[in-house]
Amino acid sequence: MLIATWNVNSIRTRLDHVERWLDEFSPDLLCLQETKVDDQFFPKKPFESKGYKVSFYGQKSYNGVALISRHDIQDVRFGFSGELKNDKDIERFNDQKRVISALINEIRVVNLYVPNGSALNSEKYSYKIEWLKCLKRYLKQQALRDEPLCILGDFNIALEARDIHNPERLTGGIMASEAERQALKDVLGERLKDIFRVFEQEKNHWSWWDYRSGAWARDSGWRIDHIYLCEELIKNAKSCVIDKKERAMEKPSDHAPVLVDINWPPEELDDSSTEFNYN
DNA sequence: ATGTCGAAATCGTTTCGA
Which CATH number goes with the domain that contains A34? 3.60.10.10
Q: What is the pLDDT of residues A64-109, one digit of tens each?
A: 999 999 999 999 999 999 999 999 999 899 999 999 999 999 999 9
pLDDT value of position A273: 54
A251 falls within a domain: yes
Q: Residue A123 belongs to what domain range?
A: 2-268
A276 falls within a domain: no
Task: Give me the residues paired with residue A237 across strands.
Answer: A262
Nearest to A129 by CA among A208, A207, A185, A184: A184
pLDDT of A276 higher than 90: no
pLDDT of A142 higher than 90: yes
Q: What is the mean pLDDT of chain A?
A: 96
Q: What is the pLDDT of residues A227-273, one digit of tens each?
A: 999 999 999 999 999 999 999 999 999 999 999 999 999 987 666 55
Contact in structure between A54 and A47 (CB atoms under 8 Å): yes
CA of A139, C1' of B3: distance in angstroms: 40
pLDDT value of position A279: 45
Number of domains in chain A: 1
Strand A65-69 and strand A29-33: the pairing is: antiparallel
Residues A43, A31: Cα–Cα separation, whole Å: 15
What count of residues does chain A have?
279
pLDDT mean over A221-228: 98
A91 falls within a domain: yes
Q: Give the sign of the dihedral formed by CA A141, CA A116, CA A127, CA A179.
A: positive
A278 falls within a domain: no
State the DSSP H helix or E strand holding residue A178, giving kind and residue range, or none if neither. Answer: helix A178-188
Angular region, A100: left φ>0, alpha ψ -120 to 50, beta rest: beta
A191 falls within a domain: yes
A177 falls within a domain: yes
Enter the pTM of the model: 0.95
CA of A214, C1' of B1: distance in angstroms: 10
Q: Is the CB of A236 under 7 A from strand B?
A: no
pLDDT of A277 higher than 60: no
Q: What nucleotide is nearest A208 when CA is compared to C1'?
A: B18
Q: What nucleotide is nearest A113 when CA is compared to C1'?
A: B18
Q: What is the DSSP letter of A266?
A: P
Q: Which residue is nearest to nucleotide B8 (CA to C1')?
A: A61
CA of A212, C1' of B2: distance in angstroms: 9
- Burial profile A27-65: b = 16 or more Cβ within 10 angstroms, e = fewer: bbbbbbbbbbbebeebbbebbeeeebbbbbbbbeeebbb
A165 falls within a domain: yes
Q: What nucleotide is nearest A41 when CA is compared to C1'?
A: B7
Q: Which residue is nearest to nucleotide B3 (CA to C1')?
A: A213
Residue A265: cis peptide before it, omega within 30 degrees of 0: yes
A4 contacts: CB under 8 Å, gap ≥ 6: A25, A27, A29, A30, A31, A257, A258, A259, A260
pLDDT of A3 higher than 80: yes
Q: Which residue is nearest to nucleotide B17 (CA to C1')?
A: A62
- Output the furthest CA–CA distance in chain A (Å, rounded): 66
Contact in structure between A194 and A226 (CB atoms under 8 Å): yes
pLDDT value of position A208: 98
Q: Which residue is nearest to nucleotide B7 (CA to C1')?
A: A61
pLDDT mean over A159-184: 98
Task: Give me the residues paired with residue A194 across strands.
Answer: A228
Q: Is the CB of A95 under 7 A from strand B?
A: no
pLDDT value of position A269: 65
A136 falls within a domain: yes
Under DSSP, is residue A211 helix (H, G, I), strand (E, B) or coil?
Answer: coil
Task: Give me the residues paired with residue A262 across strands.
Answer: A237
